Amino acid sequence: MNNNQQKTNLKALLMKTEVSMVAIIGLIFILASVGTENFLTAYNLTNILKQCAIIGIISIAETYVIITGGIDISCGAVVGMSTLMVAMAQAKWGLGVPVSMVLGIVVAVIAGLFNAMLVYEFKVPAFVATLGSQTILRGLIKVISNGGTVSGIDKGFSGFASASFLFVPNLAIVWFVIAVICFLLLKYAIFGRNLFVLGSGEEVAKLNGISIRKTIYSTYAFAGLLYGIAGILLCARINSAIPTAGEAYETNAIAASVLGGASLAGGCGSVFGTVLGTILIILIDNVGTQFGIGAFVMQVITGCVIVIAIVIDQLKKRGKR
């Protein structure tokens, strides 16, 4: 292999999103370890994993939707509604933990199917459809909870979120398992292949004999399933349900997906990249806190990261042309 080929291969490797993400995460990790006292403590690292878990599951669901060429602005609100249903079922309605978990998932899947109906049956753009769903759900959450906190969660249920296995938080283990399953679905299942084909264009999907209706409905329903699981974990972690649960989660989820290589134009994305994107987003926020940077400033920084990721995505598409 000559020098030109080696340089070309090295450049191609460095251009891969996942490689770049690993390098950036490693650099931030080193800087935080050297520059702060508390970053490498067991408490902080465990907290990072717990934060990554819930956002990570939502981000994977968002990635599935984005691959089809859609977007889901309602994900945070769906998670919030799921959290509320789990809490209400346990604390107010006298239902057991298993029933409350099923209820949380069912409500989230119904929300996903509602989004799919708006997108496919009524041809409403995904952004507008899910934005409307978000507003409806946020209103319903406040009505059902009377704008207050719902407490009285089963202790064993909430204890799961604070427990660990072999020093790894249970929440993170759930996230890892879901990530592996979603990776395999996306890479090897017909369902995963159909998402990429649909994201390339509806005409392409039709030519390949793919049912657009079935794919859109199954994608949003599957996303709802993951949102429901995230809602259950969130309820267990905060040991209650609050009216603002899940707010702004959509921002982090979309950011993690795009940073991980998902294209807002559709047809591109990966679970592994999204996992790395989630870690980067949470890591930036955590490191900012460690360095004493204010929450408002961190919001600006996160916004800048999102904009940069979108610009890079656009530049890549231009390069392919």
Q: What is the pLDDT of residues 87-129, one digit of tens each?
A: 999 999 999 999 999 999 999 999 999 999 999 999 999 999 9
- Per-residue pLDDT band for 302 (boundaries 50, 70, 90) equals confident
Compute the CA torsion angle 27, 28, 34, 38 (nearest 10 deg). -150
Please tell me the distance from the alpha carbon of residue 17 to that of residue 284, in angstroms, as a whole number.
18
- Number of neighbouring beta carbons within 10 Å of residue 308: 12
Distance of alpha carbon 182 from the chain centroid:
12
Q: State both tokens at 170.
A: 């249970």
In the structure, how many helices (H) and strands (E) does the chain have? 14, 2
In Å, what is the CA distance from 318 to each residue of 168, 307, 309, 315? 42, 17, 14, 5
Q: State both tokens at 185.
A: 């679905």
Which residue's entry shows tokens 């990554």?
A: 52
Per-residue DSSP letter, 164: E
Could you give the maximum distance between any two Cα atoms of the chain, in Å?
71
**Using an 8 Å Cβ cutoff, are 69 and 267 in contact?**
yes
- Per-residue pLDDT band for 19 (boundaries 50, 70, 90) equals confident
pLDDT in tens, 140-152: 999 999 999 999 9
- Number of neighbouring beta carbons within 10 Å of residue 127: 14
**In CATH, what number does 39-310 get?**
1.10.3470
Strand, helix or coil at 153?
coil
Please tell me the distance from the alpha carbon of residue 265 to that of residue 102, in angstroms, as a whole number.
34
In the predicted structure, residue 10 carries a pLDDT above the cut 50: no
